[in-house]
Structure 1
Amino acid sequence: MTTLRNKKLVIIGGSSGIARRLAADAEAQGAQVISVGRPEVELADEATIAALAERVGVLDYLVTLAADPANGPVAALDRAAIHRAFDAKVIGPILLAKHFAPRFRPGGALLLFSGVAAWRPAPERVVMATANAAVATLAAALAVELAPLRVNAISPGIVDSGAWDGPGKAELFAAVAARNPARRVGAPADIASAALLALTNPFLTGTTLHVDGGGRWA
């Protein structure tokens, strides 16, 4: 495995519990972490992506966790919301690859985030399922085109990251834990450790790692 010491890691979408845990774990291993939120880069705007790449300069690892869900019944979906969802998950990452790929040091890696909805579709999650499925294909396609830059994806299951906070959280988590083969929901640390594996394993590319407690089968 490659060490993280003195490596530069850029995390896009750094406000989630997963992103914060990933940043903390990477820093603990000696990485220089740059966390970037929406005020600094808008994945629907190529100019801000290009400007960010200029500011960052050379780097070793890039992770994008950005998401902009467009959930709801198909009959009520808004076209603009669908576009925003794909900008965050698919189009934006393609543009990140366009502007950052020439800047990676040897041994570098790009990590995208998919999600269990791609393998376990549910009502009112059509856009989420489709965008997440596209991420898995995108990771494989970029790995082939951008080689030897490594590109992978993580597909988390239901994770207690803060995204589910609100009414009904306890009931949802209990139901997920009851049916998951792992018999629990995920924690940010579960996803962060898999992300660090994907970034540092020099023989892992073009792959989607399912860190979902077996939820895609349950």
Structure 2
Amino acid sequence: MTLKDRTVLVIGRGGGIARAATDAVREAGGSVVVAGRDAEALAAAYPDVRVETVDVTDEASVAALAERVGAVDHVVSTASARARGPVGQLDPDVVALSLRTKAVGAILLAKHFATQMPADGSFLLFSGATAVKPAAGMLAVAATNGAVDAIVRSLAVELAPIRVNAISPGTIDSGAYDALGPEKKAQLYAGRSKTNPARRIGTPGDVAEAVVFALTNTFLTGVSLGLDGGERLV
């Protein structure tokens, strides 16, 4: 199976992992529709790609997107909401938004797109290494990623033969850590490069290759691919 003449809906931002995934799908011959909350920013990032607006936390918005887009072969969702912090400082609303965006949003996408997807289509979600490797200050992120892993397994059974998988990244240099500042980010990357078995930090290109693999391997379903350089092992 290839992505030639296939339509792939990619949900996320105009940069980082979503951008790498979009570019990789197009290079593999797929036709892409990108969607997110900020249609103006997406249009600037993808001047030659169809752009749609969607809020995955709002069922009416997801349903309207499905109606506008119509039949698709694959749906890739990189949507997330930041929810880092120690348990004593976590705002319940922030935790709820994280879960609504990444977990409930995935369920809504499945609900409204599975009925207009071929039997050999698939959903590809994004989990994260924190689901299996706890870290202080990452409780809400871990809970959200763990929920995504559970959703993947359940949907793979319920929607069969449509496939459902996730990519579970470790530390990826995608812009997600830029808020730390150059010095702290460099320290983080150096420390994790020293301890993980791959001895480096991941790149959006690493993730993009995994995206194409997950979309095109027709015997892969119900799996969260640990793309973390072995970070979960140490």
Q: Name the residue aligned to 2:90.
A: 77
Q: CA deviation at 1:14?
A: 3.3
The answer to whether the 8 Å contact 1:16/1:163 transfers is no
- Matching residue of 2:212: 196
Q: Say yes or no: does 1:42 pair with 2:55.
A: yes
Please state if 1:187 is matched with 2:200: no
For structure 1, which segment, 176-185 or 159-168, has the greater mean C-alpha deviation from structure 2 after superposition? Answer: 159-168
Unaligned stretches of 5+ in structure 2? 39-52
Secondary structure (helix, strand or coil) at the match of 1:59 reads: coil
Who is 2:169 aligned against?
Answer: 156
Give the count of matched residue pairs: 217
Whether contact under 8 Å (1:89, 1:131) holds in the other structure is: yes
Is the CA contact 2:10–2:77 (under 8 Å) kept in the aligned structure 1? Answer: yes
Query: 1:111 — aligned with what?
Result: 124
Aligned-residue sequence identity (percent) comes to 47
Q: Deviations over 1:43-102 (max 9, x none)?
A: 211100000001110000101011102111111111111110001111010011000000
How high is the TM-score relative to the length of structure 2?
0.90
**Which of 172, 194, 206 is 2:188 aligned to?**
172
What is the aligned partner in structure 1 of residue 71 from structure 2?
Answer: 58
State the SS of the aligned residue for 2:73. strand
1:208 lines up with 2:224 in the alignment: yes
- Is the CA contact (8 Å cut-off) linking 2:127 and 2:146 kept in structure 1? yes
- Contact 1:139–1:207 (Cα < 8 Å) also in 2: yes
Residue 16 of structure 1 deviates from its aligned partner by 3.6
- Equivalent-residue separation in structure 2 for 1:4 and 1:210 (angstroms): 23
Query: What SS does structure 2 have at the residue aligned with 1:34?
Result: strand
* Residue in 2 that maps onto 1:95: 108
TM-score normalised according to structure 1 size:
0.97
Kindly report the root-mean-square deviation, in angstroms, between the aligned alpha carbons of the 2 structures.
1.0
Matched, 1:26 2:39: no
The residue type paired with residue 2 of structure 2 is T
Q: Distance in 2 between matches of 1:106 and 1:8?
A: 14
> Is residue 124–residue 167 contact of structure 2 (8 Å, CA) maintained in 1?
yes
Structure 1 portions without partners, runs of 5+: none
Give the aligned partner of residue 50 of structure 2: none
**Which stretches of structure 1, 4 residues or longer, exceed 6 Å deviation after superposition?**
none
* Aligned equivalents of 2:217, 2:62: Cα separation in 1: 27
